[in-house]
């Protein structure tokens, strides 16, 4: 990504949302951008694993885990599968694990925090539904831009 979220905001603030959630960065890519795919789930990561095992085609998976820090929705195996399948990034309104290994992966990763406790694997949740957190809505096909300042989302590709 060769534009900053601050520059995007200054130029297109009227048509983008800036996410207020204070995420931590875990992957090796500090900056990333791409079209959005979504999962909504609660302490169950089977759908996250399933979606990240499909071709990412440069997309960013936005996972609304309801802000729960009780279980990890992604670890190094699932994140490695995301890299292998061409995903650009994963934004998780929830927790990750295997933090030391995530650091080495060529993937943008944002999450609220970490927890070694694994998630359920039942597949409860929804794929490709609109999700919202931190005052920003993420719809499948919208564009997300993430850097050190935060995350912004727009209905169309801006840069
Ligand atoms: O399997 C899980 O629940 C998550 C995990 O640890 C991994 O992706 O390596």
Complex prediction ipTM: 0.93
pLDDT band at residue 57, thresholds of 50, 70 and 90? very high
Q: From atom 6 of ligand 1, which residue's Cα is the shortest distance away? A: 75
Of 41, 45, 68, 84, best ligand 1 pocket probe by most atoms within 8 Å of the beta carbon: 45
Q: From atom 7 of ligand 1, which residue's Cα is the shortest distance away? A: 75
CA–CA–CA angle 64, 56, 90 (5° rounding): 35
Q: From atom 3 of ligand 1, which residue's Cα is the shortest distance away? A: 118
Closest to 79 in 3D by CA, of 63, 64, 68, 66 = 63
pTM of the predicted structure, to 2 decimals: 0.98
Structure token digits, residue 39: 């999962």
CA distances from 120 to 25, 53, 82, 141 (A): 24, 18, 19, 28
Residue 121: CB atoms within 10 A of its CB come to: 11
Q: From atom 4 of ligand 1, which residue's Cα is the shortest distance away? A: 75
pLDDT value, residue 128: 97
Closest to 17 in 3D by CA, of 159, 144, 149, 148 = 144
User: Residue with structure tokens 């095992």?
Assistant: 53
72 C-alpha to center of ligand 1: Å? 8
The mean pLDDT of the chain is 97
Is pLDDT of 127 > 80?
A: yes
- Ligand 1 pocket, Cβ-based, cut-off 6 angstroms: 45, 72, 74-78, 97-98, 118-119
21 C-alpha to center of ligand 1: Å? 24
13 C-alpha to center of ligand 1: Å? 37
Q: Alpha-carbon torsion 130, 76, 107, 111, what sign?
A: positive
**CA gyration radius, the chain:** 14
Nearest atom of ligand 1 to the alpha carbon of 119: 3
pLDDT value, residue 1: 77
Q: Give residue 7's Cα distance to chain centre.
A: 21
119 C-alpha to center of ligand 1: Å? 8
Question: Percentage of the chain surpassing pLDDT 70?
Answer: 100
Q: What is the pLDDT of residues 1-22, one digit of tens each?
A: 789 999 999 999 999 999 999 9
């Amino acid at each position: 990504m060769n534009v900053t979220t601050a520059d995007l905001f200054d130029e297109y603030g009227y048509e983008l949302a800036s996410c207020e959630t204070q995420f931590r960065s875990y992957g090796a890519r500090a900056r990333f951008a791409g079209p959005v795919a979504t999962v909504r789930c609660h302490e169950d990561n089977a759908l996250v694993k399933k979606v990240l095992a499909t071709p990412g085609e440069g997309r960013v998976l936005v996972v609304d885990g309801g802000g729960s820090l009780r279980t990890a929705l992604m670890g190094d195996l699932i994140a490695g599968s995301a890299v292998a399948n061409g995903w650009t990034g994963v934004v998780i309104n929830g927790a990750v694990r295997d933090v030391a290994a995530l650091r080495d992966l060529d993937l943008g990763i944002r999450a609220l925090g970490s927890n070694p406790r694994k998630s359920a694997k039942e597949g409860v949740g929804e794929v490709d539904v609109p999700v919202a957190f931190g005052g920003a809505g993420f719809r499948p096909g919208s564009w997300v831009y993430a850097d050190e300042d935060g995350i912004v989302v727009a209905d169309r590709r801006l840069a």
